[in-house]
C-alpha cells in the first residue's frame, strides 16, 4: 500500500480492501462537530449491462501527489479539521468499495461541501483508470468529469 499522511491529512492508493471505519477513525476529532463521508461502491448493472467487476489502474505516486494537492485545495476553500482519501486499485467486485473520502470540520456545511468537491475533482484529475468488466465484454471508461475538465480548458 502506498500512503501519504500528515497529522491532519491521509491519502492512499492501495490494492487492499477499503474499510470506511478506518478512515472515519482517522478524521474523528474532539474539535469537529461534523464528519461527512463518501464511499464509491461497484454496482451490479450499468447502462443495462450486468457488471461483473471493475478494475482500477493508477500511477500510484502521481495519484497520491494529486490527491494530496486536492486535499490542500479543499482546506483552502473550507475550514476542515482532518481529511482522508483512499482509492482502491486492482480488482473491485460488485459490492466492494473503490473510493472513500472522509472529512471532519467544525460545521457540517464545510464537511459536506468538501466531500462533494473532492469526489468530483478526484474523478476529473487523479491518474486512476477504470476498466468495466461486464457480461459479454469489457471497456476502459473515461469519467464524465475528465471530459468536462478537458472541454473547459479549450
Whole-number Cα distances in Å, 113 to 44, 75, 86: 28, 11, 18
Confidence category of residue 85, pLDDT binned at 50, 70, 90? very high
Confidence category of residue 5, pLDDT binned at 50, 70, 90? low
Summary mean pLDDT of the chain = 91
Indicate the SS3 state at residue 98.
Answer: strand
Label the pairing between strands 80-88 and 9-14: parallel
Confidence category of residue 153, pLDDT binned at 50, 70, 90? low
Which range, of 4-13, 46-55, 95-104, averages the lowest pLDDT? 4-13
> What's the mean pLDDT in 37-45?
96
Q: What is the pLDDT of residue 142?
A: 72
Q: What is the pLDDT of residue 7?
A: 76
> What's the mean pLDDT in 51-73?
96
pLDDT tens digits, residue range 121-150?
A: 999 999 999 999 999 899 988 765 555 555
Residues in the chain: 154
Q: Is the pTM of this model over 0.85?
A: yes
Q: What is the pLDDT of residue 47?
A: 84
Output the nine-digit C-alpha cell for 1: 500500500
Q: What is the pLDDT of residue 151?
A: 58
pLDDT tens digits, residue range 20-36?
A: 999 999 999 999 999 99
**Torsion, Cα of 47, 50, 53, 58 (10° steps):** -20
> What's the mean pLDDT in 47-70?
94
Amino acid at each position: 500500500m502506498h500512503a501519504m499522511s500528515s497529522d491532519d491529512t491521509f491519502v492512499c492508493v492501495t490494492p487492499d480492501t477499503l474499510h470506511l471505519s478506518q478512515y472515519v477513525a482517522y478524521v474523528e476529532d474532539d474539535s469537529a462537530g461534523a464528519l461527512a463521508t463518501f464511499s464509491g461502491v461497484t454496482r451490479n448493472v450499468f447502462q443495462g449491462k450486468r457488471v461483473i467487476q471493475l478494475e482500477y489502474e493508477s500511477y500510484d505516486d502521481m495519484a497520491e501527489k494529486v490527491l494530496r494537492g486536492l486535499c490542500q485545495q479543499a482546506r483552502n476553500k473550507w475550514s476542515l479539521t482532518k481529511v482522508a482519501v483512499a482509492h482502491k486499485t486492482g480488482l473491485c467486485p460488485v459490492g466492494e468499495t473503490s473510493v472513500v473520502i472522509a472529512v471532519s470540520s467544525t460545521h457540517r456545511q464545510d464537511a459536506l461541501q468538501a466531500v462533494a468537491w473532492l469526489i468530483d475533482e478526484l474523478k476529473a484529475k487523479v491518474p486512476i483508470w477504470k476498466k468495466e468488466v461486464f457480461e459479454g465484454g469489457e471497456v476502459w471508461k473515461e469519467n464524465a468529469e475528465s471530459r468536462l475538465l478537458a472541454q473547459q480548458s479549450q
